[in-house]
Each structure stands twice: as structure tokens, then as C-alpha cells.
Amino acid sequence: MKKLLQNFYKWIDDRLQVKGLVDYMGKKYVPVHRHTIWYYFGGVSLFFFIIQVITGILLLFYYKGSSDLAFESVKFIMSKVQFGWLVRSIHGWAANLFILSIFIHMFSVYFEKAYRYPRELTWLTGVLMFFMALGFGFSGYLLPWNELSFFATRVGSDIFGVIPIIGEPLKEFIRGGSDVTGATLSRLFGFHVALFPGIFTILLGLHLILIQRQGISEPLHYKNEKEIKNKKKMPFFPNFMLRDLLLWLIVLNLLAILAVYFPAELGHKADPFSSAPAGIKPEWYFLFMFQSLKYLPPHIFIVDGEVVGILLFGIAGLLWLLVPFWDRKSPKGERNRLINYLGIFAVMFIIILTILGWLS
């Protein structure tokens, strides 16, 4: 068996010269310290993305992206297609866990200051992928064309309209008209299965190449270790990859349990002429923004409260994206308490507002 594998490897290597790559990976090390656990969330996010691609393709075999057929096709997937219910439930659950995992990964990178020189581009591609993941969530939510998704999309796209100057044209662009209709479904379907995956794959490729080229970031305190022997590390290949694989198996189990015990629901078909169901809310990852806007007064000075809220979120997002460029201390190896405080505030803000939104 071992000989057979070696022969196969040789056969591949003769043609693709992968030995260099394997040796290169074998020389890469992952720092081992009390925060090493957070390194795995990048891999877990990647695993969820792979699952999304596979289950998404399977769903595409049966899904029909028109307002007349979308709901019926999803119903068909859920009830008639062999294991269709499982594929859709895994797609739904993996989407949520994908965003959760990216949240964790992004905040761990932030708190570890792993975005600092020379990894600014890695951070930039990562944050852009996070925004794209939210876009995946928003566009995919409408696709079953059920009551909840229809009205949540209407509320969500209304928020875009609040943005000064570009708001209204942007809202119309997203909706493909003045209201959420079949045109919106076709548009968001196109974004969800073609445009976003294309851009995301490019960003993901860049992100992974950058990680491979620059290696895993070491924490600040790790650099200051005087004695080289105190710096613990493990080879990226095979140790870290195998551990990653182990975690993937555990995550897969979790996904299977969630999909079987809490399968994705379908609800009632969207009726654009009916009134919105009471207590309509966006998905949990948009909830903190939605809830914050609700708490704002109608007017702040002379400006509309919602406009101020959207602008503040826009500024916060931009600052978040550009953090490697305004954090001057971390690249020098100095502690930057402001970054920590801002990060803690952001985490607390998101958690508290999400809970409040969920309870309201």
C-alpha cells in the first residue's frame, strides 16, 4: 500500500514537480502559544466555503431562479429530491456558521494585530471577503422566495436607500426596480451564484497565496521572547493541516446534527400584496446594525437619524478595513491599547445589540 502511494506520488511529481511545493510547505511553521486555537478558524471558514460551493452546485441542479418557480423548486428539493432536504439544510446552516467563523477569525486576527506589516494586503482581502460573505447571506436569503425572505429583503434594501446621494440609485440597482419583485430575485440569484463566487474566489486565492508567502503571523509577545528555545512551533505540513482536518471532521459532525435536528424551514410563498408579518427581522448577522438604527432618534440635529447611523456604520467599516494603515504602534512591536479597547467595544456592541435585536 505504502509502495503504491509512493509510486503514485512519484507519478504526479514527475509531471507536476510538486516536491518543491511540499518541501516548501514542510518548512513552514505555525507558532504554538496560548492563542494558537484561533489560527484554526481561517481553515474552518475555508471548509465552510468549500461546503457552500458543493451544496450550492447541488442545489443549482434543481433550483429555478424566477418568482413563479423559486418557491416551488425549493419545495421540490425539500420534499422530492433524494437528500435534497439535507443539502439545503447544510447549505443554510453552513452559511450561518461560515459568517460566524469569519467573524471569529477576523476578530482574532485583529486582537493578535496579525494585520500589521507586512500583512496589510492579507487583512484587506480578508475584510473584503467578510463583506462579500455578508453579501452572500443577503442575496441567498431571498432565493427561497418565501414570505420571511421577501419582507426581510424589502426592509434590508430599504436601508440602502437611506445612504445620501447614492442610496436611491443603489437601492434600485439591488432591487432591479423600485420594489422587491421577480427582477430582484433574478438579480440577487445572479449575484449569489456567479458574481460573488467569482470575486470571492479571486480574493480567497490572493488571501491564501499571501498566507503561504508570508507565513503565519507570530504574536507580538512571541517576537520578544529572548530565548529561541521558548518559541514553540509546529510544521504547517503535515501537523497543522492534519489538525485542521480533524477540526473539519468535528465541524462536519456539528453541521450534520444541526441539519438533521433543525432542518431549514420554507414557510409560505411570498405574496407581494400581503402585509408584512409582524416582527420582521433580518438575519442575525445584520441584526446589530438593524437594532442600532431602531434606537436612533428620528433626527440628530438637522440630519435624519437613520442617515447618521448608516454613515457611522460606513465610517466604522472603512476604519476597520484600513486598520493596518492607522495602527502605527503594532508594526513597531509596541502594545496598542486603543486597538484593544476599540475591538472589545466592537465585540460587545455587536453581541449586545444582536441579543437586544433577537429579543425585541
- In sequence order, which residues have a C-beta less than 8 Å from that of residue 101 and are 6 or more positions away? 41, 44, 45, 48
| Cell (9 digits) for 314 | 460606513
Q: Which of 28, 64, 75, 329 lies at the binding interface for another protein (CB under 8 A)?
A: 75
| Pairwise CA distance, residues 81 & 102, whole Å | 31
Q: Is residue 256 within the footprint of another protein (CB under 8 A)?
A: yes
Nearest to 327 by CA among 117, 52, 13: 117
Phi, psi (deg, nearest 5) at residue 233: -155, 165
Asked if 85 is part of the footprint of another protein (rule: CB under 8 A), the reply reads yes
Look up residue 114 and give its three cell numbers. 496579525
Q: Does 54 participate in binding another protein (rule CB under 8 A)? A: no
Tally of CB atoms within 10 A around 2: 6
CB of 77 to another protein, least distance (A): 10
What three-state secondary structure class fits 328?
coil
Q: How far apart are CA 165 and CA 47, in angstroms?
A: 39
Please list every residue from 264 through 303 that binds another protein, using CB under 8 A: 266
Closest contact distance (angstroms) between CB of 85 and another protein is 7
Query: Segment contacting another protein (CB under 8 A): 75-83, 160-168, 194-202, 325-333?
Result: 75-83
- Which residue's CB is nearer to another protein, number 266 or number 270? 266
Alpha helices (H) along the chain: 2-16, 19-27, 40-60, 70-79, 84-111, 120-142, 147-162, 167-175, 182-190, 196-214, 220-223, 241-261, 284-295, 305-321, 323-326, 337-359
Is the CB of 248 or the CB of 285 nearer to another protein?
248
Q: How far is the CB of 296 from another protein (least distance, A)?
A: 39
245 sits near another protein (criterion: CB under 8 A): yes
Of 214, 253, 274, 360, the one binding another protein by CB under 8 A? 253
Can you state the angle between helices 40-60 and 241-261, rounded to 10 degrees? 50
Query: Which ranges in 112-181 belong to alpha helices (H)?
Result: 120-142, 147-162, 167-175
CB of 62 to another protein, least distance (A): 14
Binding residues with another protein: total (CB under 8 A)? 22
Site for another protein in 216-235 (CB under 8 A): 234-235
CB-based contacts of 306, cutoff 8 Å, min separation 6: 159, 162, 293, 296
User: Is residue 249 part of the contact set for another protein (CB under 8 A)?
Assistant: yes
Does 252 bind another protein (CB under 8 A)? Our answer is: yes
Residue 247 vs 347, nearer CB to another protein: 247
Contact between 239 and another protein by CB under 8 A: the answer reads yes
Asked whether position 22 contacts another protein by CB under 8 A, the answer is no
Smallest gap, in angstroms, from Cβ of residue 48 to another protein?
A: 16
Judged by CB under 8 A, does residue 257 bind another protein? yes
Q: Please tell me the number of Cα atoms within 13 Å of 155 on its side-chain side.
A: 23
Asked if 51 is part of the footprint of another protein (rule: CB under 8 A), the reply reads no
Q: How far is the CB of 312 from another protein (least distance, A)?
A: 41
Name which of 90 and 133 has its Cβ closer to another protein: 90
Smaller CB separation from another protein, 263 or 305? 263
Cα(255)–Cα(261) distance, rounded to whole angstroms?
10
Q: Which of 152, 130, 134 is nearest to 143 (CA)?
A: 152
- Between 79 and 340, name the residue whose CB sits nearer to another protein: 79
Taking CB under 8 A as the criterion, the residue among 57, 183, 202, 242 binding another protein is 242
CA distance 239 to 188: 41
* Contacting positions for another protein (CB under 8 A): 75, 78-79, 85-86, 234-235, 238-239, 242-243, 245-246, 249-250, 252-253, 256-257, 260, 263, 266
